[in-house]
Structure 1
Amino acid sequence: MAEPDPSDPLETQAGKVQEAQDTDLDAEEGASGGEAEMDFLRSLFSQTLGLGSQKERLLDELTLEGVVRYMQSERCQRVICLVGAGISTSAGIPDFRSPTTGLYANLEKYHLPYPEAIFEIGYFKKHPEPFFALAKELYPGQFKPTICHYFIRLLKEKGLLLRCYTQNIDTLERVAGLEPEDLVEAHGTFYTSHCTSQLCRHEYTLGWMKEKLFSEVTPKCEKCQSVVKPDIIFFGENLPSRFFSCLQSDFRKVDLLIIMGTSLQVQPFASLIGKAPLSTPRLLINKEKTGQTDPFLGMMMGLGGGMDFDSKKAYRDVAWLGDCDQGCLALTDLLGWKKELEDLVRKEHAHIDAQSGSSTPNPTTAASPRTSPPPGKAEAKTTDGEKPQ
């Protein structure tokens, strides 16, 4: 859940320039002089580095139905999911930026100098208590995976999931049945913890950390008495090496990106949307459209190729606006998988309840997974007034 903002040390010049190709297919007739100059620069960058990849439209229409037909074709064999806090909110875990319910809007009791300080490594080393108090409230094991998490599991069972890249630290992807090899936990995880002393770095388990948190004791290393921190990425820390090693191979061969519950505001995670081949379709399931930065500006700043839902040149991006769980139900309904997904949610939630001796449902997902989705839509018109996940 913490949203760090480290730099991307492995961003290559070629990768940045390829993102520039996500801008224009061809210069439109009557383009202004400025637009023509931009087209020339884009072409020059591409030709200089021998990229020159041609954009191929693989969707017969830019709708959810068009994505479904593509998923059912032989062209779609490898799907990457990019997910953020919005896929866990229906489990009762707050996102970051919602004005009244988001995590940053409800930290007054910790008396922080500013909300983000609770996830800054420098502040943590001096004042770890606020983070551990928050961690107790949000600790993994108190929540059940959502419909979105089990949709990703279903993609795996169908043989379509190449990888799930998640910004979340709540471990719900693991609880839903994804294996470590299925995941890139870009912002780390609560699953393990380590001593913060560079001379020690002793590892501790999830159970050990849980026992310390719920006894309201600041976790200290048993070997050197330094503070022990869960392996989540704070502001000021580098992303896991697995993030960089996997993206180098995964995004060369991906056939479809499914982006869910993320504001695409945090780098370098947000730049992943620009790593896929130029023809790869991209489906966004979110409460609002995100990732629509200017592609050429994104290339120059190393921020990744922007999404294009609305322009006349849009050819691969589809947005379904609404609740992420309902978006997954709408997609699986069209795919003919809806009952399978609903049954999986019920079965897995019952198993979790049996293990914990509890029958507490998720606030919105477990009560009735058969509920049909509202008339959300895959569309190309921005909805005013929506807030980022």
Structure 2
Amino acid sequence: MSDVPEASNREEVEENTPEPEEQSDDSSDDGEASGDTEMDFLRNLFSKTLGISGEKVLDELTLEGVASYIQSGKCKNIICMVGAGISTSAGIPDFRSPDTGLYANLQKYNLPYPEAIFQIDYFKKHPEPFFALARELYPGQFKPTVCHYFIKLLKDKGLLKRCYSQNIDTLERVAGLEGEDLIEAHGTFYTSHCVSFMCRKEYDLDWMKEKIFSDDIPKCDKCSNLVKPDIVFFGENLPKRFFTSMAMDFPRCDLLIIMGTSLQVQPFAALTFLPLSTSADPILGIISIGGGMDFDSAKAYRDVAHISTCDDGCLELAELLGWKAELEEMVKREHEKINSKAEEEQTNQSSGAAGKAESGKAESGKAESGKAESGKAESGKAESGKAGSGKAESGKGEVE
């Protein structure tokens, strides 16, 4: 699939390339000059069509070169492509890492194969494993990472064109990105819908959270069908916005930053083959990646591979840009807000539980009091009965 965009672009080039004029058999300087001109024309045409300028944009193919380019003022539209690797430091497992990855730890769900937990047909028949997993990985139980806040900092600096994410954990939103800043290619827990095409009723995050943590399988209150978070399962189409936005965003992209993804899942991985801005188009990968990038050949002129954890790479780049203190302060401040909110919610829950307990005790006390009063009444009746019996006995004596 990685070859499809190249083939498509090649066809466009062939359609738009004029037929070369017939040349005589005589070789001359003019003929050589003409050939050079045609080659230059074709070279430029390929460059524009494929988004490869061939001009050296970076001073050096290092993180320092990327930082210098961002500071130059020429880099105005940055696109980030991110995957599960940017959330692992938050405690969320990625999918494919041996031993620690999500797929390596699903044995307890008795699946026919690991990927079944995210297959739509299997989900409709057996939703229990997915919702059991959702309780473990539910958004709101984790805090955004340094990497998430670095992307937010790009937005604050007016440099972020868009963030294309494979993640479903909503941590980009928690970090402060808005829906307009995000293309959640594989969907999100932020909203949910009834799976029935005839219904499709929408539910919000709080509704789904309540269902998941009550151990109930979420069912539509309108038609009783399953309700599924709006994450993209195998066998489902990606959101339409993914396709419409990429056609507009990538031709304007000055810098593509790829973090935390192995680029194994299509069509997300194919984004690296899209034409970028013809004037400035370096790619920074804060992981080891291949695909549409050239890091190692003698002709490499624009792509940078920086091998590190995503958080460390973002901190290093922030330091080179003079943003490190600002980034660290943002992380500290936002994490304190999240902790404070969590403590407040826990206090409210504890107060609510205590209130229910007190209410229960009060109800129990009323019941006991009622029983006691009833007991007294019964006792009173019994005493009265005894008195009546005494009178009767007395009456008998008189008659006798």
TM range (shorter): 0.7 to 0.9
Which structure: greater helix fraction? 2
Tell me by how many angstroms 1:13 deviates.
Answer: 6.2
Partner residue, 2:103:
104
Q: Aligned with 1:308: secondary structure?
A: coil
CA deviation vs aligned residue, 1:213-244 (integer Å, no higher than 9, x gap)? 00101000001110000000000110001101
Structure 1 CA distance for aligned equivalents of residues 74 and 45 of structure 2:
28
Q: Residue 12 and residue 202 in structure 1: after superposition, are their counterparts in 2 closer, same or farther (change >3 A)?
A: farther
Structure 2 CA distance for aligned equivalents of residues 322 and 48 of structure 1:
34
Q: Match of 1:257, as an amino acid?
A: L
Alpha-carbon contact 1:163-1:183 (below 8 Å) kept:
yes
Q: Match of 2:187, as an amino acid?
A: G
Tell me by how many angstroms 1:15 deviates.
Answer: 4.3
Tell me by how many angstroms 1:75 deviates.
Answer: 1.1
| Aligned with residue 347 of structure 1, among 304, 312, 333 | 333
Which stretches of structure 1, 4 residues or more, deviate above 3 A after TM superposition? 10-20, 43-54
Q: Residue 61 and residue 50 in structure 1: after superposition, are their counterparts in 2 closer, same or farther (change >3 A)?
A: closer
1:196 equivalent in alignment to 2:216: no
Q: Residue 48 and residue 140 in structure 1: after superposition, are their counterparts in 2 closer, same or farther (change >3 A)?
A: closer
Query: What aligned pairs does 1:277-292 form with structure 2 within 5 A after superposition?
Result: 277=277, 279-286=280-287, 289-290=288-289, 292=290
Structure 2 CA distance for aligned equivalents of residues 246 and 139 of structure 1:
28
Name which of structure 1's ranges 271-280 and 153-162 shifts more when overlaid on structure 2: 271-280
Q: Aligned with 2:94: secondary structure?
A: coil
Q: Residue 234 and residue 11 in structure 1: after superposition, are their counterparts in 2 closer, same or farther (change >3 A)?
A: farther
Alpha-carbon contact 1:17-1:45 (below 8 Å) kept:
no
So what's the TM-score if we normalise by structure 2?
Answer: 0.74
Partner residue, 1:179:
178
Structure 1 CA distance for aligned equivalents of residues 118 and 284 of structure 2:
30
Counting matched residue pairs gives 316
Partner residue, 2:342:
356
Partner residue, 2:257:
258
Partner residue, 2:397:
none
Q: Residue 19 and residue 256 in structure 1: after superposition, are their counterparts in 2 closer, same or farther (change >3 A)?
A: farther
Structure 2 CA distance for aligned equivalents of residues 108 and 230 of structure 1:
23
Query: What aligned pairs does 1:1-389 form with structure 2 within 5 A after superposition?
Result: 14-15=8-9, 51=49, 54-275=53-274, 276-277=276-277, 279-286=280-287, 289-290=288-289, 292-293=290-291, 306-357=292-343
Q: Residue 56 and residue 175 in structure 1: after superposition, are their counterparts in 2 closer, same or farther (change >3 A)?
A: same
Unaligned runs of 5+ in 2: 15-40, 347-400
Alpha-carbon contact 1:188-1:240 (below 8 Å) kept:
yes
Q: Aligned with 1:321: secondary structure?
A: coil
So what's the TM-score if we normalise by structure 1?
Answer: 0.77
Q: Match of 1:79, as an amino acid?
A: I
Q: Residue 86 and residue 312 in structure 1: after superposition, are their counterparts in 2 closer, same or farther (change >3 A)?
A: same
Tell me by how many angstroms 1:322 deviates.
Answer: 1.4
Structure 2 CA distance for aligned equivalents of residues 94 and 329 of structure 1:
21
Tell me by how many angstroms 1:54 deviates.
Answer: 3.6
Alpha-carbon contact 1:81-1:259 (below 8 Å) kept:
yes
Unaligned runs of 5+ in 1: 1-6, 21-42, 294-305, 361-389
Partner residue, 2:31:
none
Partner residue, 1:380:
none
CA deviation vs aligned residue, 1:174-225 (integer Å, no higher than 9, x gap)? 0000010000000000000000000000000100000010010100000111
Structure 1 CA distance for aligned equivalents of residues 210 and 173 of structure 2:
20
Tell me by how many angstroms 1:17 deviates.
Answer: 6.0
Partner residue, 1:296:
none
Q: Match of 1:335, as an amino acid?
A: L
Alpha-carbon contact 2:119-2:235 (below 8 Å) kept:
yes
Structure 1 CA distance for aligned equivalents of residues 341 and 157 of structure 2:
27
Structure 2 CA distance for aligned equivalents of residues 233 and 143 of structure 1:
21
| Structure ranking higher on relative contact order (CA contacts 8 Å, 6+ apart) | 1
Structure 2 CA distance for aligned equivalents of residues 86 and 284 of structure 1:
12
Tell me by how many angstroms 1:12 deviates.
Answer: 9.5
Q: Aligned with 2:142: secondary structure?
A: coil
Q: Sequence identity of aligned pairs in percent?
A: 64
CA deviation vs aligned residue, 1:112-163 (integer Å, no higher than 9, x gap)? 0100000011111111110010011000000000000000000000110000
Alpha-carbon contact 1:121-1:237 (below 8 Å) kept:
yes
Q: Aligned with 2:286: secondary structure?
A: strand
Alpha-carbon contact 1:194-1:231 (below 8 Å) kept:
yes
Structure 2 CA distance for aligned equivalents of residues 272 and 201 of structure 1:
30
Tell me by how many angstroms 1:57 deviates.
Answer: 1.4
Structure 1 CA distance for aligned equivalents of residues 281 and 100 of structure 2:
35
Alpha-carbon contact 2:78-2:160 (below 8 Å) kept:
yes
Q: Aligned with 1:252: secondary structure?
A: helix
Structure 1 CA distance for aligned equivalents of residues 192 and 315 of structure 2:
35
**CA RMSD in angstroms, aligned pairs only:** 2.7
Q: Aligned with 1:259: secondary structure?
A: strand
